[in-house]
């Protein structure tokens, strides 16, 4: 039985709008991010070099990659255009 036939997980661009928690070495652990105006928390455990103003790819609550702002804005515009994507 194939439950997940033709399904795919996506990472979505998000802008880091604040650092909420740091570890004992001062590296960020938790950030507040904005995705098309919607605020969420994101773990920075996989990408601790991120800072406020950076764009990241967010997957399952984790920042998995830092990305170029132009690329992030282009991707968000496409997602908005194809709302059923």
**pTM, rounded to two decimals:** 0.81
Q: Which CATH class is domain 12-81?
A: mainly beta
pLDDT at position 7: 65
pLDDT at position 72: 94
Task: Tell me the residue length of the chain.
Answer: 85
* 2 has a pLDDT exceeding 60: no
pLDDT at position 28: 83
Instruction: State pLDDT tens for residues 15-71.
Output: 999 999 888 888 789 999 999 889 999 999 999 889 999 999 999 999 999 999 999
* 8 has a pLDDT exceeding 80: no
Compute, in degrees rounded to 10, the torsion defined by CA atoms 75, 80, 83, 85: 0
Boundaries of every domain in the chain: 12-81
Q: How far apart are CA 48 and CA 50, in angstroms?
A: 6
* 9 has a pLDDT exceeding 80: no
In 3D, which of 54, 58, 48 has the Cα closest to residue 17? Answer: 54
């Amino acid at each position: 039985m194939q439950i997940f036939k033709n399904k795919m997980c996506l990472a979505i661009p998000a802008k880091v709008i604040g650092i909420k928690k740091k570890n004992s070495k001062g590296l960020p652990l938790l950030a507040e991010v904005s995705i098309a105006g919607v605020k969420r928390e994101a773990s920075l455990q996989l990408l601790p070099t991120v800072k406020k103003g950076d764009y990241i790819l967010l997957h399952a609550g984790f920042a998995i990659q830092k990305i170029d702002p132009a690329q992030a804005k282009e991707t968000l515009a496409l997602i908005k255009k194809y709302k059923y994507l």
